[in-house]
Amino acid sequence: MGRSIATWIVKHGGRHVVLSSRNPETPEAGWLEDIERLGGKITVLAMDASKSESVDAGLVTLRDVHNLPPVGGVAYGPLVLKDALLNNMDLATMDMVLKSKVPGAKIFHDRFCDPNKDPLDFFVMFSSAALFGGNPGQTNYTAANAYLQALGQYRRSKGLAASTIHIGAVMGIGYLTRNSREAEFQEKSDVDTLGEAEFLTLFAEAVVSGRRVDGVDGVHAKRVIDMSETEIASGIPALESRHKETIKFYHDPRFGNLKTPETRGDAADAGGGKITIKEMLATATTMEQVRAAISESLSDKMRGVLHIPPEESVNAAAPLLDQGIDSLGAITVASWFSKQLLVEIPILRVLSGASIDDLAAEGASRLSPTAIPLVADAQVSQDSSTASLSDNSSSDDGGASTPLSTPDEAEKRVDGVVRKAPMSLIQQYSYTRQASLPDVTISHNTIGVMMEGSLSTDKLAQAVTAAINRHETLRTAFRLSEPESESESGPTPQLHVLSAPTWGLRAVSVASRAEAEAELAKLQKEPYELESGETFKIAVFTWSPTSHLLVLAYHRLAGDGSTTENLVAELSQLYSGAALPPAPQYTDFAVKQRTLLSSGAMDASIAYWTSLYTPLPAPLPLLPLPGAQSAAAARGPVSWDQHTAMSRLSAVLAFRIKERTKKLRTTPMTFYLAAYAALLSDLSKQERVSVGLADTNRSSVADLSTMGYFANLLPLRLTSSSDTFTTTIESTKEAVRQAMSHSVVPHDLISSRLGLDGVSPKDMTHAPLFQAVFDYRQGAAESGAIGGASIVEVLASRERTPYDVVLEMSDDPTKDPLVTVKLQSSVYSEGDAEVFLGKYVELLTGLSKGETV
């Protein structure tokens, strides 16, 4: 178990790991070599953790003999078992087990209890599932683990790192495996077991949840820490009726919330399992039965997505948005329809107020007749016609397609162009602004990915080439084409898809990480050759066999944040030799978007946005921050540069926010956005503020894997209530719902229709339409791997903007939420970003506890 944790730590960036026990065994040479290849070093140290003199001598040896850096974390897991019923247990048996855990934990606490001197990043103590479930004959073992739990609570009250993990039965590593007792345990117990990967996840969660808290005040230090803040448990299965005789705590009322209704198990036993949605549809004879079947199956799916307990019913008539569904949940729903029913339901349909019954009706109307063979043709035709009339505006097709021009063979030989198409509306607005930008690098996005582990540059180069050939947007030139008809007044911007790439992977050896980062900075400033098709740059800088900086750089016209994530994921698959399905192409999206405009399918949404901003609201005033420019002074042109501050929310605050959102029946994104609007309203003294909501603009399952420039900003008008935060949440939720319903319109098109596009980017004193932006990124993990190299850090230099205030939330499931604040440098000082960030986190803390705005 210790070696497994050591390997995990090294793979996640640790460099020095010490394995210690009273009589340690030297690991085999092969394992040590594997660790060294990963960039780590193992030190084996003989030490009796229960004796202070031995611990002190060991720490001195690590520092003075092995020259190791200060201790950064402790994983404390001694194990001595001597089972006996309490009535028959003598003092020696009790002491034997207690002394294996208690004194050592106290000694390590004493050595690492000064928050100002080498504070630990983690102090994970290994407990057992027997602590909360009980196990006859293990009173001594349970008492020892209870001490660890209490010590963890005490350390956390002082702001120190601490957590305990109550480990169930681990298979494949550890005590049961070492003593060949896995089969015996599984025969006698129904307790859930853990594999090695699950155990390592348990350890990782303990590291995250037990982080230290800086600046603990006297009030915090005196409070009693909840066990939920320090402990993570495993091993408890769902308490089904079949466990009555085998799980000791089945009848304990404290575990009653884990019981499943007996009728569910009985029904499964009697009926032989639940029939699938496809089987239900195959036996349906009316469209009403079809809709009911889809609604029932989708409700079962949503129970898991929305975390609805088994004893509660799913409300199929209420909008899913009101039940707390988020963008990832919407993707799950759309994917379910696509995979189970071969029906495409737009993701935005889920996020714009549709209920389960609404989606079931829409899905039923789009089913192939072969999926419902017993339903009369007349019913299917009538249902489909009704749906077509009622939902024409949200169709993915949006009308007839604009034909693409295909060059003849002679043209292909001359310029290598295999396909031409108009730029998307999003691209065209950005393209026409290029010449008037004060600095060409404003549109550059450069993402640095620090990686540790083995990485073959040859295989990576092959993966890059394969990706370029799969995706047209990676080999597309941006050119002005001469008019092809008399109706065209002049050259028009077009996408020219090239037959072959004009770029590939750059593999460069450097001396150090510092040199690699310097190369990244140079790459950020390199111009792009848009007309020749060089819109992306991928480079890998290597300074040791296991240390690399992978750089993904692109011009705004060619990609966005989702493109970066898709590209990393695809490079990983191609590197490993995976066979991938044909890729959807951005050129098709560009044509579809223009068709939506020309066919009138955007008219209703354009009317919504223009009415929302008529009359035009006043710009966001300068916020009263310490270093802000005087409100009386005239503003000069925006600088397109911003001051940045960032911080991660504590695990406790993130948990409280999630619990609060459940009570408010909303999503974390809406909570964070409503809090942002409340802060802007309070500082600006405006009851209603304009905020640009970053939107991936990928409305279908196919769009999710398409690479290219989709990203949009939805210009919300948000009202902050002076009554309660609940009212602000409800108004924000409605504003987001309306925005999602009309998100098909690019915000630059809205600005154009409002007459706000006449000012050159070089001369504007503030951004048009809105001056504040909110960007919520959910599930955008800062982790992953390509081959044997794992991502350990991300360095991002994204497109610069003219906005006054930008708030970015990265809600990565593998880490605590990251908050980034960016303030316009032409009117705010560098310290103002930290001040604004502090005010926002303070507001979140209060709101998570139910306080008013």
**CATH topology assigned to domain 409-589:** Chloramphenicol Acetyltransferase (3.30.559)
pLDDT value of position 192: 62
Rounded to 10°, the helix 668-684/725-741 angle is: 110
Q: Which two tokens stand for residue 233?
A: 């448990």
Q: What is the CA radius of gyration of the chain?
A: 30
Reference 164, options 203, 138, 222, 197; nearest CA is 203
- Name the H helices within 306-376: 327-336, 347-351, 356-365
Q: Which of 102-111, 308-317, 592-601 has the weakest average pLDDT? A: 308-317
Region 600-605: what's the mean pLDDT?
95
What confidence tens digit (pLDDT) does each residue in 45-98 have? Answer: 999 999 999 999 999 999 999 999 999 999 998 888 787 777 777 888 888 888
The per-residue pLDDT for 241 is: 63
Residues 297-311 have pLDDT tens digits of 898 888 877 767 666
Q: How far apart are CA 809 and CA 601, in angstroms?
A: 33
Q: Is the pLDDT of residue 141 over 90?
A: no
pLDDT digits (tens, 9 = 90+) for 763-775: 888 998 999 999 9
The 10s digit of each residue's pLDDT in 701-726 is 888 889 999 999 999 999 987 778 89
CA 470, CA 210: separation in Å to the nearest integer? Answer: 44
pLDDT for position 331: 81
Could you give the count of Cα atoms lying within 13 Å of 636 in the half-sphere of its Cβ?
A: 7
Identify the residue with better confidence: 636 or 132: 636
Q: Is residue 727 helix, strand or coil?
A: helix
pLDDT at 274 over 80: no
- Compute CA distances 35 → 1, 363, 546, 783, whole Å: 15, 52, 11, 20
Of 784, 826, 794, whose CA–CA distance to 646 is shortest?
794
* CATH architecture assigned to 277-394: Orthogonal Bundle (1.10)
199's CB contacts (< 8 A; 6+ apart) are 1, 4, 167, 170, 173, 174
Nearest to 316 by CA among 334, 293, 337: 293
Using pLDDT thresholds of 50, 70 and 90, give the confidence band for residue 410: very low
* pLDDT tens profile 452-478: 999 999 999 999 999 999 999 999 999
Question: Considering the entire predicted model, what is its pTM?
Answer: 0.62
C-alpha distances in Å from residue 168, one per residue of 132, 194, 198, 237: 11, 7, 11, 11
Structural domain boundaries in the chain: 277-394, 409-589, 601-783+799-848
Tokens of 288: 């009403």
User: Cα–Cα distances in Å, from 393 out to 97, 604, 759?
Assistant: 70, 9, 33
Reply yes or no on whether the pLDDT at 389 is more than 70. no
Domain 601-783+799-848 is of which CATH architecture? 2-Layer Sandwich (3.30)
Residue-level pLDDT at 404? 45
Question: Which amino acid is present at 296?
Answer: E
Please give the helix or strand (H or E) that residue 808 lies within, else none: strand 805-811
Per-residue H/E/C for 462-473: HHHHHHHHHCHH
Task: Give residues with Cβ within 8 angstroms of 602, minimum separation 6.
Answer: 596, 744, 745
> Cα 221–225–230 angle (5° rounding)?
120
Specify whether the CB–CB gap between 48 and 72 falls below 8 A. no
**What pLDDT shows up at residue 411?**
40
DSSP-assigned letter for residue 65: I
With 60 as the cut, is the pLDDT of residue 794 above it?
yes
DSSP 618: P
Banded model confidence at residue 334, pLDDT cuts 50, 70, 90: confident
277-394 and 601-783+799-848: identical CATH topology: no
